[in-house]
Structure 1
Amino acid sequence: MAAGRGHDAIVKLLIEKGASVNLKKAPGYPLVIAASNNRKAVVKVLLEKGADSNARRDDSTTSLHIAVMRGCSDIVSMLLNKGADTDLGDNTGTTPLHTAVWKKHCKITQLLLERGAAVGSRDSYGRTALDIAMTHGSQRSLSLCLKHAKINAQDCQPLHPAISLNKTAVVRWLLENGADINRKDSRGQTPLLYAMLEAHDHLVELLLLYDVDPDAERYDGLTPLKLASEINREDWAQKLRAKRDKHKYRSHSLHSTS
């Protein structure tokens, strides 16, 4: 009760009298209760007295989850300074970073990212913080996630969702910052093939400015060049054939000099 009502002096007295800072009683750990009610002074006392910053509620949320949800950046900072784990997921795999991005708490998003929160962590729906930023986050949150994302890491594949969502500026940023333009998704589709199938002509034209593979096969053998022919896009087919010739010339030159 004292933790939730912000009575830090009473909390101190209770601790001095032997009360445990990590005793879980309904409705939860003292630290979680204090964070839930934005009681900064109480949070400070509890952390100084050894409260576990990673203690979980029944739904696996931590004090950090709660503080992020409430938008309490000061409490978030205190918890991080005491070792709160930025990547602990709740029972749906949602991390504090997922929540910060979803709630558009940009200051907290930046705090978490600066402390090493993983942009590529996925919740139980398969979404990363970057995915959420593209669909529900603010432009600032998206920029922060892009800046900290390892765009070619195994657990990060932002080009395909950016194309699906028709996010031209994001696609351009990813390409300019070295995203693998020929990386395939789970169905074997490259970003170019994906853009062609989605009928995002402007994105196809953008991707064609880069070193795309015209013969990269999907699981069923479909390639960008084959698709261009099937849908009667001779303009794309011409550019793709030129890229194929360029690839062949480059390969021949490499073999000739080796």
Structure 2
Amino acid sequence: MQAVFEASIVNARGGTWKAPALSYDGVPAELIRWLLAQGADIHAPDERGRTPLHHHSGSWNGQPALLIGLGADLERTDDSGRTPLFDASSHSTHTRTLINAGANVLAVNDDGETALLYRLRRTRGSDLVQAASVAAAHIQAGAPLTQELQHAIHLISEDFEQIREAFDEAALPGTEAALAQLLKLFSVEPAAPVVRHDGVSPIKVNAAAWPDRFNALWDYLVPAAGSANTVQGEVIRVAGRIAAEIGGNGGANWNSRYREMLSEYPAMLASAVPLPDADRAEARALARALSRGRGNEEELDRIRELATRWVGLNPTPIPHTPR
């Protein structure tokens, strides 16, 4: 491999973000030392301002300890104001390596987040074991316990209760233990267990505004994975999934399955006790308008509001059989 670099420039760049060779994933320690001996810049940034230490800190097989020992700056920031500790926050071992070397746990990015807050705001169920270890390292290093961190932990707990029923059984005990550790570490009460509809009882939620009713119906009727077992749950699931994909993800994953869900939406609103003619016509127009995976906030609100209204007209559960 050295022979390849001997015939080129040691600071040559490649990949999507034009990172230097020192930043490449899996680069051997011997080659790192050789590149530096040939004059490679240990702080050479990619097009996002991320240095080799950023890259290695965020890679499971990275070598941040080696780069630190060779003079890499722990506090160099990327174009978003993030130090390498932010990248390391997905890996407890790398986090401890940087903290033990003196990384500042109080450093904030351009959004005012510390590395710990940045990670916890992006943590989901499958990440909890690593997140608990990372959080413990930060707190031991002097990171203060803040209301923002406690709120992030509360949201993590709520999110986990939403997906608990569909969680991988083999990973469940370790994940539950990690969540308990986080709750104790930040003095946060666990979220209440999610109570799903039994499939036969009349459907009723106590909320005045339609957005609150929609959210309550989502928690009550929509399973953690797969289709709902009632038409009421399915129309809420379809409206929520489409709104989340277009509004929250810009339609990046829009495909035939979303188009199929959208095509079923007007028919559900016309079944059993149907919505008024004008509302059904609007639902058909919305399905056409959103069919390419693009839409505005008003349109996305309307598909959820119409779904909520239809469920209110149909409190008796209607069995739903997925196609």
Distance 1:85 1:113, change over 3 A: same
Distance 1:67 1:163, change over 3 A: closer
Q: CA separation in 1, counterparts of 2:13 and 2:150?
A: 48
- Which position in structure 2 is the counterpart of 1:8? 2
From 88, 93, 109, give the equivalent of 2:81. Answer: 93
Distance 1:56 1:32, change over 3 A: same
Distance 1:83 1:89, change over 3 A: same
Instruction: Give, as a single letter, the amino acid of the residue that structure 1 aligns with 2:46.
Output: R
Contact kept? 2:48, 2:78, Cα under 8 Å: yes
- Which position in structure 1 is the counterpart of 2:141? 148
Instruction: Give, as a single letter, the amino acid of the residue that structure 1 aligns with 2:83.
Output: T
Matched residues, number: 152
Query: What's the offset of the Cα at 1:150?
Result: 5.0
From 131, 139, 155, give the equivalent of 1:138. Answer: 131
Is 1:161 equivalent to 2:148 in the alignment?
yes
Contact kept? 1:36, 1:70, Cα under 8 Å: no
Q: CA separation in 2, counterparts of 1:50 and 1:33?
A: 12
Contact kept? 2:74, 2:83, Cα under 8 Å: yes
From 35, 40, 45, give the equivalent of 1:46. Answer: 35
Q: Which runs of 4+ in 1 moved over 4 A?
A: 24-31
- Which position in structure 2 is the counterpart of 1:170? 185
Instruction: Give, as a single letter, the amino acid of the residue that structure 1 aligns with 2:88.
Output: A
Gaps of 5+ in 1: 1-6, 152-157, 174-258
Distance 1:141 1:163, change over 3 A: closer
From 55, 67, 82, give the equivalent of 2:56. Answer: 67
Contact kept? 1:54, 1:84, Cα under 8 Å: yes
Q: CA separation in 1, counterparts of 2:18 and 2:95?
A: 25
Q: CA separation in 1, counterparts of 2:138 and 2:88?
A: 11
Contact kept? 1:131, 1:161, Cα under 8 Å: yes
Identical amino acids, percent of aligned pairs: 21
Q: CA separation in 1, counterparts of 2:83 and 2:13?
A: 24
Contact kept? 1:31, 1:51, Cα under 8 Å: no
Q: CA separation in 2, counterparts of 1:85 and 1:110?
A: 16
Query: What's the offset of the Cα at 1:91?
Result: 1.0
